[in-house]
C-alpha cells in the first residue's frame, strides 16, 4: 500500500463520502442475526427449565422420596436464576455484552454435555 491507501487502511467510506472506522459487523448483519441469537438463548433457557421440572420425578425415584419433597430443587433453581440476572447485567456492563453472552452460552453448553456424565 502506498500513500493515501495507507492512510485509509481499516476504514470504510460512509454514504456521505467520509471515511469511518471499519466495524466488525455492519448494522444490517446485526439486525439480521440478533433476533435469532436472542431466540436461541431464550429457547435454551426454556429447555433448561423444562428439563429441571421433568427430571424431578426420576430424581425422586432415585432418592426414594416423594416428588413433592423435591420442591426445594425447583425453588433453588429459580432462586439461583433470579440471583444471576443482576450479576450477569453487571458483568455485561463491565466486560461487554458479547463476551458475557458467549461465556454464558459456553458454560451452559459444557454443563449440559456433562450433566449425564456417569
Q: Which three cell numbers stand for residue 49?
A: 427449565
Looking at residue 44, its pLDDT comes to 85
Residues 56, 35: Cα–Cα separation, whole Å: 32
Q: Where are the domains of the chain?
A: 3-114
pLDDT per residue as tens, the chain (118 positions): 444 444 444 555 555 555 555 555 678 888 888 899 889 888 988 888 888 888 889 989 999 999 888 888 888 888 988 898 899 899 999 999 999 999 988 998 898 888 777 7
Q: How large is the angle between the packed helices 27-63 and 71-95, nearest 10 degrees?
A: 150
pTM over 0.85: no
Closest Cα to residue 46, out of 113, 91, 108? 108
Q: 60 and 69 in contact (C-beta within 8 Å)? A: yes
Q: 41 and 101 in contact (C-beta within 8 Å)? A: yes
Residues 77, 56: Cα–Cα separation, whole Å: 12
Amino acid at each position: 500500500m502506498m500513500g493515501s491507501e495507507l492512510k485509509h487502511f481499516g476504514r470504510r467510506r460512509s454514504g456521505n463520502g467520509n471515511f469511518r472506522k471499519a466495524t466488525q459487523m455492519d448494522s444490517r448483519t446485526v439486525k439480521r442475526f440478533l433476533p435469532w441469537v436472542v431466540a436461541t438463548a431464550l429457547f435454551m433457557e426454556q429447555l433448561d427449565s423444562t428439563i429441571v421440572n421433568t427430571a424431578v420425578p426420576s430424581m425422586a425415584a432415585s432418592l426414594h422420596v416423594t416428588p413433592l419433597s423435591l420442591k426445594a430443587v425447583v425453588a433453588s433453581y429459580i432462586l439461583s436464576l433470579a440471583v444471576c440476572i443482576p450479576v450477569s447485567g453487571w458483568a455485561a456492563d463491565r466486560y461487554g455484552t458479547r463476551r458475557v453472552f458467549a461465556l454464558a452460552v459456553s458454560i451452559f453448553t459444557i454443563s449440559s454435555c456433562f450433566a449425564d456424565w456417569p
